[in-house]
Amino acid sequence: MNDLSSTPVPPSDSLPRARKPDWIRVKAPTSKGYGETRQLMRDLKLNTVCEEAACPNIGECWTKKHATVMILGDTCTRACAFCNVKTGMPGRVDADEPAHVAEAAAKLGLEHIVITSVDRDDLPDGGASQFVKVIQQLRANTPQTTIEILTPDFRGKMRRAVEAIVAARPDVYNHNLETVPRLYPTIRPGARYYASLRLLEEVKRHDPSIFTKSGVMLGLGEQRLEVHQVMDDMRCADIDFLTMGQYLRPTPKHTEVMEFVTPQAFAAYGAIARAKGFLQVASSPLTRSSYHAGKDFAEMRAAREAQLAKAAAAGAR
């Protein structure tokens, strides 16, 4: 890895510690579709990362009746410096939650659903069995819906957790690295960079047909070469899909934004990632793990099919 010990220098095409630029501003959600999605989540007693993490895309996504369901409660056992989800001792796991998730998918008419969770270090399996139950309930009730999961790292329980979830066969297994290794002690102190990479490697080892996905936030003080190295690490782990978005400070208690990376810089990162061989790349200031996830999944699946067809044609010569 390159020498990254020097003080981070913001890219020349970024704005260091500036007020929020125009390209990151979004309209307040007011549509009828937004209200209907919000009410459905309330009626089914479901949490969403859209609300809990204060996602800037909530107005657009909920207007289209797209929501990322957050299972295992609304309280996390970790305290990451970037995350707006509340921290503390979680309550009991809701036995009705898998059925409610499937009901929400059916009522929203979802072709693709994203399921994430808080960290549950208090549970013997880290909450893996709840992911399995949700996947099974969705397969039984809305078999046409493709399933993307975004899991925690299952610290100390990773191998068995991954094995159980992979056996349930989600279409996409997502786990975010979030930032570069140098920043983990301050940004993601409860996690380990290489443990997260190993988790995604384990998914591929158990079932190479499952798409793997990971994401990073920019604007935390990372350097370009560090970001490029993360891309290389992901490709070594055979990760299919990379997302890159701007970090936004949820509250004054959270880590500050070191820079607002321009759309042009995001486009450049995206071009580099594609050159490194990712099947799918989403890179823009407002990109989030589940933003346009259904469309991106369809494109990624088509890209793999094209690759396989090309390889078969070459082998037939």
Binding residues for [4Fe-4S] cluster: 50, 55, 61, 76, 80, 83, 290
User: Closest by alpha carbon to 84, among 115, 47, 49, 53?
Assistant: 53
**CA of residue 229 relative to chain centroid, distance:** 19
How is residue 24 annotated by DSSP? G
126, β-bridge pairs: none
Binding-site residues from annotation: 50, 55, 61, 76, 80, 83, 290
Residue type, 136: Q
**Got the DSSP string for 252-282?**
TTSPPP-EEE-HHHHHHHHHHHHHTT-SEEE
Rg (CA), the chain: 19
H/E element, 308: helix 293-316
Is 199:153 a contact under the CB 8 Å cutoff? yes
Listed in sequence order, the DSSP H helices in the chain are 32-43, 49-52, 58-63, 97-108, 128-141, 158-167, 184-187, 193-206, 224-236, 263-275, 293-316
